[in-house]
Amino acid sequence: MRTWWTRVGLIGLIGLVLIGYWLLPISGRLVYIPGDAAFAWPQILLSPASPRAGESLTVSVTDVVPWSYVQLTVNGRAATFVTWRNNGNGTWTWVWTGRAPEGGGPLTLAFYHDCNTGCTLRGIVTVGTSSTVTSPPSPGMETKLCLVFARLDRDWHGRRGWVVDLTYVHPPDPYWGIDALAERVHHYHSQGLRVLVRVDYAKGQSIPPAGDNVALTEYLDDLHRLARDARLSDVYAYFLGSGYNAADANSQSPERPVTPAWYARVFNGYGEPPTHADNAVQVMRAVNPRVRVLVGPVRPWVRDQSGERAYRVNVPWLTYMNTLVAYIDASAQAKMAAGIPLAGPDGFALHVPGRPEAAAVAGQDPAAEPTLDLPHPAWQGAQQGFRLYREWLDIINGYPTTRGLPVYITSTNTYTPDQGVPPAQNYPAGWLTTAYTVIRDEPQVQSLCWFLDHIPGDTQWRWFDLTEHPGRLIYAAEEFNALLAGRIANPPTKAPSTGGAP
């Protein structure tokens, strides 16, 4: 009687020869191998034969190339590397240990190499009984609802929503590194969710400091790695930095803050000869033409920086944004004139908080704030609340290469940096429902992301946490679940406009 190792080895070998096809059941198992049919390697072997839910397992991979920086994942989770050996016959073997999923079901074993520059998939095998090998779940009903740092076990009620995650070039701990990110992306995608990944240079330094070309090269190297990493092929879009116009996002080099010109330089090469390709858009698209690259969000209502091209409402955050978009547009047009297409952004990430405690809301339902024009007299009539998003859109739609691009509200809640009151204290019941009702009818806006859901072990953002929902966040948590489940309460009646904003 053949052993399990012999049987799985034979299945893997046949699967690798018949690359790109589902095989008929063999000994109650199915195997799928993508790639180049010229190769009958690697051979991926599993022990024990049929691991029980949660049971430890061992995976052995043998190949004819001595790959470096290898990794094996079990259902998207990185296995633990044990050892490797030169077999002396022109083959090499690597061994990992892992664990079968607690819920049972099929196992997908994926072998990668060159993970130091972005994991390349070499072989993948799905093993399970014919009754448990299933197709990926069908996408659920579309929704614009989104969470920043969504809890992995959250119930999305079958909805195809959005998630925002984060990684750093210099991660402060492994949780924010690329390997942990890849595991979360795999999990979210298996739930049918679309993932937006924010890429920061370092904690407290969203974008490389202005003029620091060494830091810029590190940042571009990391973006190159993210774009080519097969484990991240399901990322919907990347956005570069967040709140980089604010002083606290430039803490490593406060004397060299990220100006609009420098951000545009990093993003698509503004200020450099059009033929130069050392910028985020061209670096990422060179290795992954399908990647989406978004402009990261400018933080509203901070005066740390402004820009050279005044917006019609000349306040620092809007003028910064207007200058930034003008420079990105100018660079994209210069590259097109030089015969280099597709050098502009695929969209914009936006920071759009609400301000239910604004003086102008007094006497009205604070939950109706997202529907209100709230021009601030001391800000030349600039919006001081949720309808700020219309000013962002007005700027984006004012330039040829950015007009009409999709936008993603990647952060919203009822906290404003100039007031500093957290949502646990000031959230008015019904506010999220109203904000979602407003955004649902905006075709250019693709997502509405509550900041935040939950970061395991983190206490810094407790008063924003939708999972723990302290204080008045219980109302926001209930509304989010009700909106997902289709139980949309009637939003507050729209109050009369106070005028003065676009």
Q: Which residue has the higher pLDDT, 35 or 61?
A: 61
- The 10s digit of each residue's pLDDT in 313-353 is 999 999 999 999 999 999 999 999 999 999 999 999 999 99
> Among 145, 143, 150, 144, which residue's Cα sits nearest to residue 467?
150
The answer to which of 102-111, 206-215, 368-377 has the lowest mean pLDDT is: 102-111
- The 10s digit of each residue's pLDDT in 427-456 is 999 999 999 999 999 999 999 999 999 999
> Which of 3.40.50, 2.60.40, 1.10.1220, 1.20.120 is the CATH number of 4-127?
2.60.40
Helix, coil or strand: residue 71: strand
Contact 247, 304 (CB under 8 A): yes
> What pLDDT score was predicted for residue 233?
97
| Token pair listed for 198 | 């924010």
- Domain coordinates of the chain in residue numbers? 4-127, 141-306+344-391+404-484
Mean pLDDT in residue range 31-48: 68
- The 10s digit of each residue's pLDDT in 466-480 is 999 999 999 999 999
- What CATH number was assigned to the domain covering residues 141-306+344-391+404-484? 3.20.20
Question: Residue 365 pLDDT more than 70?
Answer: yes
**Tell me, what amino acid is at 351?**
H
Q: How far apart (Å, rounded) are the C-alpha atoms in residues 484 and 256?
A: 43
Residues pairing with 26 in the sheet: 29
Place 40 in a pLDDT band, splitting at 50, 70 and 90: confident
Mean pLDDT in residue range 32-48: 70
- The 10s digit of each residue's pLDDT in 151-197 is 999 999 999 999 999 999 999 999 999 999 999 999 999 999 999 99
The answer to which of 22-26, 182-186, 273-277, 480-484 has the lowest mean pLDDT is: 22-26
Average pLDDT score, the chain = 89
Query: What percent of the chain has a predicted confidence (pLDDT) above 70?
Result: 87
Q: How far apart (Å, rounded) are the C-alpha atoms in residues 216 and 446?
A: 30
Helix, coil or strand: residue 216: helix
Mean pLDDT in residue range 289-310: 98
Place 134 in a pLDDT band, splitting at 50, 70 and 90: very low
Question: Residue 75 pLDDT more than 90?
Answer: yes
Residues pairing with 195 in the sheet: 163, 235
Place 138 in a pLDDT band, splitting at 50, 70 and 90: low
> What pLDDT score was predicted for residue 491?
54
Place 139 in a pLDDT band, splitting at 50, 70 and 90: low
**Lateral strand order in the sheet of 92-99:** 43-47, 56-63, 92-99, 80-86
Question: Residue 31 pLDDT more than 60?
Answer: no
> What pLDDT score was predicted for residue 131?
42
The pairing of strands 141-148 and 77-78 is: unpaired
H or E element that contains 435: helix 431-440
Question: Would you give the DSSP letter of residue 307?
Answer: -
> What pLDDT score was predicted for residue 495?
39
Q: pTM, whole model, 2 decimals?
A: 0.89
